[in-house]
Amino acid sequence: MRIFLLGVVSVLTLLAGCAQSSESSDTEEFTLAHNMPTDHPIHESLVDFQRILEEKSDGSMKLRIYANEQLGSEREAIEMTQTNAIQFTKVSASALEGFSESYSLFSMPYLFDSQEQYRETMKMPEIQEAFYNKTADNGFIGITYYDAGVRNMYTNDRILETNDDMRGLRTRVQPSQTSVQMIEALGGTPTPMGFGEVYTALQSGMLDAAENNESALTDNNHGEVAKHYFYTEHAMVPDILIMNVDAFNELSEQQQEWVQEAAAESTELHEPRWDESMEEARQIAEEEMGVTFHNVDKSSFMEAVEPLQESFQENEATREQYDLIMGENNNE
Ligand code: GCU
């Protein structure tokens, strides 16, 4: 598998440097890779992006989408985007923390008060400016965000009532320093790993717990091996569509607009699709997979992570973004 992936990567590397001209010299083809299956709502929204971009450009800008980690994990897809081996990827903001510290803010527990506030904030032009260009020196920029839901804890068989029940639980987190600190603050044992490894790790008992939105149970089958889901609602970490910065700069102004408009329109279409998918996921997990959904004492989780939240108030590297999100600028 590894050899196959390397093969794909080196072919893509040979093609690096520009999108591919195909069919006629007026048609450019771009590559986008991501880590979710094709029946996942995020894939469907990326297909919207593909369709709208093609429509706006009258067929002159085409997108080839590789789903399902076919080209590698989120980390590998970011690295391929950096080198322009692929032009786009969609990754969790947590995966971008290692490329710009500003993104660590999204892994801060309880950053947003509500889903409405989260969605509104993520669409504010000043917020987008404060994040999306921060990685330009690393070879890529943000283009849009997609709602990736509310993250909650789930376990093989352990029952959580308060955060005390997290003690010693080997809990999978995304490879992000802030996510590691969050599980430490809650008393668990953080185990960072790529998303594609989580199912087997839960199944083999290497992990006791993980945290994600409801679709991880169904679209990614974790509900087969994790039977309890707890509404800790500890984070809303957006997915970010990123693009190689040179590939973007080489586009004409008109093409750049098409990319941005197509992305923004796909973000709008994504929201109702997401809400419907999460309801459906809960129903399928409950009725067909035997997962039990629990309410927990959320306040104990909130209290346990207060020191981590406070450390963000003092962090100069994320101050601009923190103030913007907290709306402090409006109060001046
Ligand atoms: C969410 C997110 C993915 C990410 C995954 C994870 O599902 O949308 O981009 O890979 O969480 O926990 O790794």
**Tens digits of pLDDT across the chain (332 residues):** 333 444 444 445 444 445 665 555 689 999 999 999 999 999 999 999 999 999 999 999 999 999 999 999 999 999 999 999 999 999 999 999 999 999 999 999 999 999 999 999 999 999 999 999 999 999 999 999 999 999 999 999 999 999 999 999 999 999 999 999 999 999 999 999 999 999 999 999 999 999 999 999 999 999 999 999 999 999 999 999 999 999 999 999 999 999 999 999 999 999 999 999 999 999 999 999 999 999 999 999 999 999 999 999 999 999 999 999 998 444 43
CA of 58 to the centre of ligand 1 (A): 33
CA of 296 to the centre of ligand 1 (A): 23
Residue-level pLDDT at 22: 53
CA of 303 to the centre of ligand 1 (A): 25
151-236+280-331 shares the fold of 2-102+112-146+238-278: yes
Which sequence spans correspond to the domains of the chain? 2-102+112-146+238-278, 151-236+280-331
Alpha carbon distances (Å) from 222 to 102, 115, 196, 332: 30, 24, 11, 46
Instruction: Report the distance separating Cα 183 and Cα 305, nearest Å.
Output: 9
The neighbour count for residue 3, using CB atoms within 10 Å, is 7
Alpha carbon distances (Å) from 303 to 164, 248, 252: 11, 43, 50
- 92 C-beta closer than 6 A to ligand 1: yes
- 296 C-beta closer than 6 A to ligand 1: no
Q: Which two tokens stand for residue 51?
A: 């369709």
- 135 C-beta closer than 6 A to ligand 1: no
Q: Quick check: 4 and 66 in contact, CB under 8 A?
A: no
Ligand 1 pocket mutation pick from 89, 179, 195, 270 by most atoms within 8 angstroms of CB: 195
**Sign of the CA dihedral 9, 15, 17, 18?**
negative
The neighbour count for residue 129, using CB atoms within 10 Å, is 12
**Phi, psi angles (nearest 5°) of residue 180:** -60, -45
Residue-level pLDDT at 138: 98
Q: Please report, as a single letter, which amino acid is at residue 152.
A: N
SS3 assignment, position 122? helix
Domain 2-102+112-146+238-278: give its CATH code.
Answer: 3.40.190.170
Angle at 265 between CA 143 and CA 86, to 5 degrees: 40
Q: Position of tokens 């590894």?
A: 2
**Phi, psi angles (nearest 5°) of residue 302:** -65, -40
Q: Quick check: 195 and 221 in contact, CB under 8 A?
A: no
What ipTM did this prediction achieve?
0.98
Beta bridge partners of 92: 239
Range list of H helices, 61-208? 74-82, 115-122, 125-132, 177-186, 198-203
**Which residue, among 217, 246, 247, has the nearest Cα to 229 in the 3D structure?**
217
Instruction: Report the distance separating Cα 234 and Cα 212, nearest Å.
Output: 10
Q: Which two tokens stand for residue 303?
A: 């209290």
Q: Quick check: 86 and 31 in contact, CB under 8 A?
A: yes
Pairing of strands 239-244, 140-146: antiparallel
CA of 74 to the centre of ligand 1 (A): 9
Q: Which CATH number fits domain 151-236+280-331: 3.40.190.170, 3.40.50.720, 2.40.50.100, 3.40.50.850?
A: 3.40.190.170
